[in-house]
Chain A
Amino acid sequence: MIQPGLHDDVVALAVGYGRKAAGKVGNIGVDAYPLSSFAKGKPVFAGRVVTLKKTSENYLLVSTQDHHVMEGRAIVLETTKSAFEKDPSSGIHKHQIFSIWPQHQYTKHKWALSVDLNSCTGCSACVVACQSENNVPVVGKKYVLEGREMHWIRIDRYFKGTPEAPEVAVMPLMCQHCENAPCETVCPVLATVHNDEGLNDMSYNRCVGTRYCANNCPYKVRRFNWFNYVKKREEPLHMSYNPDVTVRPRGVMEKCTFCVQRIRRGTNIAKDEKRAFKDGDVKTACQESCPADAIVFGDLNDANSKVARLFQEKRTYKLLEELNAVPRVGYMTRVRNAERAEVSGHGSEHGQPAHGPAKDEGKEDKKKHGNNVQQHEGELV
Chain B
Amino acid sequence: MSSVARKPLILGSKTYKDITDDICAPVEAPATKRWFGLLLGAKALFLFYIVHIAIIIGTGMGLLGVNHPVAWGTMIITFVFWIGIGHAGTLISAILYLFRQKWRTSVARSAEAMTVFAVMTAGIFPLIHTGRPWLDFWLLPYPNQRGPLWVNFRSPLLWDVFAVSTYATVSTVFWYVGLVPDLATIRDRAKTKLRRLIYGTLSLGWRGSSRDWAHYEIVYLLLAGLSTPLVLSVHTIVSFDFAVSMLPGWHTTIFPPYFVAGAVFSGFGMVITLLTLVRIGFPKFKDYITIDHMEVMNKIIMTTGLMVGYAYGSEFFIAWYSGNHYEVYAFTNRAFGPYWWSYWIMISCNVVIPQLFWFERFRRSIPVMFVVSIFVNIGMWFERFVITVTSLHRDFLPSNWGMYAWSWFDSAILFGSFGMFLTIFLLYLKFVPAISIAEVKPVLYVGKKRPGHEGGH
Contact = CB atoms under 8 A, between A and B. Distances in A.
Interface of A: 65-67, 69-73, 75, 143, 145-149, 154, 156-158, 171, 173, 182, 185-190, 206-212, 214-216, 218-220, 223-228, 249-253, 320, 323
B245 A186 contact: yes
A209 B132 contact: yes
Interface in B371-419: 392, 395-403, 405
Contact of A147 (B70, B155, B244, B397): B70
A143 B61 CA distance: 13
Contacts of B136: 208
Interface in B34-69: 59-62, 65-69
Contacts of B427: none
B413 to A, nearest CB: 16
A65 B130 contact: no
B398 A190 contact: no
The 10 closest A-B CB pairs, nearest first, are: A209-B131, A251-B131, A226-B62, A147-B67, A156-B399, A211-B71, A251-B132, A220-B400, A188-B157, A188-B155
Contacts of B329: 71
Interface string B147-159: 0011110111110
A207 B135 CA distance: 9
B71 A214 contact: yes
B246 interface: yes
A228 B58 CA distance: 10
Contacts of B325: 72-73
7 contacts: A69-B398, A75-B397, A208-B138, A210-B130, A212-B245, A218-B396, A223-B68
Interface residues of B, number: 49
A359 to B, nearest CB: 10
A179 B86 CA distance: 40
Q: Name B's interface SS.
A: loop
B132 A148 contact: no
Interface of B: 59-62, 65-72, 129-132, 135-136, 138-139, 149-152, 154-158, 161, 241, 244-247, 325-326, 329, 392, 395-403, 405
Contacts of B156: 186
Nearest to A146: B405
A67 B157 contact: no
A152 to B, nearest CB: 12
Q: Name A's interface SS.
A: loop
Given A228-B60, A251-B61, A251-B130, A211 B72 contact: yes
A96 B324 CA distance: 15
B325 to A, nearest CB: 7
Contacts of A188: 139, 151-152, 155, 157-158, 161
Given A224-B131, A252-B132, 20 more contacts: A66-B402, A146-B62, A146-B67, A149-B68, A154-B399, A156-B399, A185-B152, A185-B155, A187-B155, A188-B161, A189-B138, A190-B149, A207-B131, A207-B132, A208-B131, A215-B245, A219-B396, A220-B395, A220-B400, A323-B246
Contacts of A210: 129-131, 157
Centre residue among B67, B157, B397, B403 by max chain A CB count within 10 A: B397
Contact of B131 (A71, A171, A252): A252
Contacts of A65: 399
B152 A225 contact: no
Contacts of B151: 188-190
A224 B246 contact: no
A215 B396 CA distance: 11
B138 A206 contact: yes
